[in-house]
């Protein structure tokens, strides 16, 4: 549950705000009777479905990234510290990186990376020019 809150807190806030807007608009005098119930029945499950899908995709990607790291493969994480140069950091187990509580850390690097903000490295084969 803690991981769900970490990953989806922002989206839960946006969803709550959307529900409040729906409630406000559907209670105006110009709206038809029953529009509150219809609005909340439509918007509530839609928001829940989108948040659930996002959590599923994100946690699945995290599992893939963590498994790849444990198997010695490369992982690429976004570096938000410096936006102009080196916007990503390549993480490998062989370069003294370790994984604890979904965070990649290294004694040679000043900050940690949350595995939800990383992807598996997949080399792209560029076909030769003809």
pLDDT tens digit sequence for 23-63: 999 999 898 898 999 999 999 999 999 999 999 999 999 99
pLDDT tens digit sequence for 87-102: 788 899 888 899 999 9
Contacts of 114 (CB under 8 A, 6+ apart): 102, 103
Q: Which residue has the higher pLDDT, 57 or 125?
A: 57
The pLDDT, as a whole number, for residue 70 is 92
pLDDT tens digit sequence for 55-85: 999 999 999 999 999 999 999 988 766 666 6
- Percent of the chain that is helix, strand, coil (3-state, to 5): 50, 15, 35
């Amino acid at each position: 549950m803690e991981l769900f809150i970490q990953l989806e807190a922002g989206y839960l806030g946006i969803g709550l705000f959307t529900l409040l807007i729906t409630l406000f608009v559907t209670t105006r005098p110009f709206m038809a009777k029953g529009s509150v119930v219809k609005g909340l029945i439509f918007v509530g499950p839609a928001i829940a479905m989108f948040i659930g899908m996002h959590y599923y995709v994100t946690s699945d990607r995290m599992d893939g990234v963590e498994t790849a790291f444990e198997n010695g493969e490369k992982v690429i994480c976004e570096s938000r510290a410096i936006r102009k140069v080196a916007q990503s950091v390549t993480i490998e187990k062989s370069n003294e990186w370790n994984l604890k509580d979904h965070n990649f850390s290294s004694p040679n690097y000043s900050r940690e990376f949350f595995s939800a903000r990383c992807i598996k490295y997949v080399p792209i084969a560029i076909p030769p020019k003809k």
